[in-house]
A = this chain, B = another copy of it.
Amino acid sequence: MSLARALPKNRTGDKSAYHHGDLSDALLVEAKRLVNKYGVENISLRQVAVNVGVSPSAAYHHFPDKESLLKAAAKSAFEDMADFQERALQDLNGISALAVRRRFRALGQSYVGFAKKNPHLFRLAFGPYCAGEDMNREESRPWQMLLAVLQELDEIGDIHPGMRAYAEILIWSTIHGTANLILDGLLPVETVDPVIQSLELALKSAGKVAK
């Protein structure tokens, strides 16, 4: 698949290929590459097209305008992040309470980790080009992963009943905010772990008021 993408059917050997074969995908990949390198605000449709080896107007047969291309790239970047998170969880199986907690931390750390590693892509995925309308939180992979780990956390008794209702939203908001503030230079990078730790503590004990 990645090979088929690198060598579109019409270009495998055919030197003077008029039709590209997989322009839509090629444009998307190159758009993401440029965004990742220079940031959304510094890339042009023309540059994307030229780098792919095609005239600027060719892009308009696959995307109605630049914004649509960027929105598609944003959606793809979002999936990249999900991939990144999945890879982070991959080797962390195990049923013990410790293993579960490790997974929870890895989830948060990989979220922020992706943002730090690919700040421009992270900003693209969540910025004004976030395909908010047709993007559904409930069905998104990061959300699903969070729900799964949260379920496990609950099973080992790490979530206090008083906290269950809105735990997912609290966690996502917190981690997402941390990532953004770090990218903006408003929080030092080291704050990820304390924040996650605080979250764990909060989840486990909330409702148990001294009183």
Contacts and interface: CB of A to CB of B under 8 A. Distances in A.
Question: Which of A126, A163, A174, A181: most chain B CB closer than 10 A?
Answer: A174
Contact of A185 (B135, B204, B205): B135
B181 A198 contact: no
A201 interface: yes
A135 B185 CA distance: 8
Contacts of A173: 173-175, 177-178, 181, 187, 191, 195
A41 interface: yes
Contact of A133 (B176, B185, B199): B185
Identical copies of this chain, number:
2
A92 B132 CA distance: 35
A95 interface: no
A4 interface: no
A191 B181 CA distance: 20
A180 B132 CA distance: 12
A204 B40 CA distance: 41
A46 B197 CA distance: 49
A171 to B, nearest CB: 9
Contacts of A40: 41, 128
A206 interface: yes
A17 interface: no
Question: Which of A162, A167, A206: most chain B CB closer than 10 A?
Answer: A206
A98 interface: no
A79 B169 CA distance: 28
A165 interface: yes
Interface string A185-211: 111000100110111011111111110
A91 interface: no
